[in-house]
Amino acid sequence: MNKLVGKKFMESGTASAAKYGREQAWQLLAEWTESESLRKHARAVEICVSACGVAEADRLRLDSEEREKLLELYATTALLHDFDYERHPTLDEHPFVGVRELERLGWPTELRTAILGHAQYSGVPRVTHVDKALFACDELAGFLTACALVKPTKAIAEVEVAGVRKKMKDKAFARGVNREDVIQGAAELGVDLDAHIGFCLEAMKKRAGEIGL
């Protein structure tokens, strides 16, 4: 899928505000994704991205209604970022097939744009905070999960920033995680890499029971 096609997906359709929330996002994810590990990954990314959303809402000093809308956008974007991956895992299809379906169902442009943007090869730029938060948390959430699963307790509570940085240097560990995306993601958010790792770790530790860690 070339960059022009990616941009066409982003620009097509109306910017209709879908009245779908987290429950509908989870139902769509569950419908398209049978793999428990992929569902847990979506939840882990949701936890990290939602924490970024809370920080952004605080920074912007949003009122309760605006805050609720922002947090819903962050949560649903994270849950749905890979919802088509199990059925359409190739670079030609993911996330383009999923975004087309989201457009058909009326999910908002902001969500679809962020999902396209988390795939470097789509050619869709990451402009908004939610765009950058999704990209910064996606690979990292997967890596933190891998770090937890090699602990004797398989608990995220046992994972520390220093250990994560050490594992990042081990190319044989969690080969599927793109370290450059992790580094670039923090840079695009404008935060120190260690601080970002620690931030996501704490978010996942607080909700570890939801992702079996």
- In one-letter notation, the amino acid at residue 106 is G
Long-range residue pairs from 21-24, CB within 8 A, at least 24 positions apart, any chain: 21/72, 21/76, 22/72, 22/75, 22/76, 22/79, 24/76
Q: What is the pLDDT of residue 163?
A: 97
Whose tokens are 């649903």? That residue is 76
In the DSSP assignment, the letter for residue 208 is G
Query: Is the Cα dihedral 99, 100, 106, 108 positive or negative?
Result: positive
Q: What is the pLDDT of residue 20?
A: 80
Beta-carbon contacts of 192 under 8 Å, excluding residues fewer than 6 positions away, are: 186
Counting as low any pLDDT under 50, the low residues of the chain are: 1-18
Rounded distance between C-alpha atoms, residue 148 and residue 89, angstroms: 25
Distances in Å between the Cα of 150 and the Cα atoms of 128, 155, 158, 164, 174 are 35, 9, 10, 12, 10
Distances in Å between the Cα of 132 and the Cα atoms of 12, 180, 191 are 21, 14, 11
Domains and CATH numbers, the chain: 3-211 (1.10.3210)
pTM of model > 0.75: yes
In the DSSP assignment, the letter for residue 209 is G
The answer to whether 20 touches 105, Cβ cutoff 8 Å, is yes
Q: What is the pLDDT of residue 116?
A: 98
Q: What is the pLDDT of residue 19?
A: 66
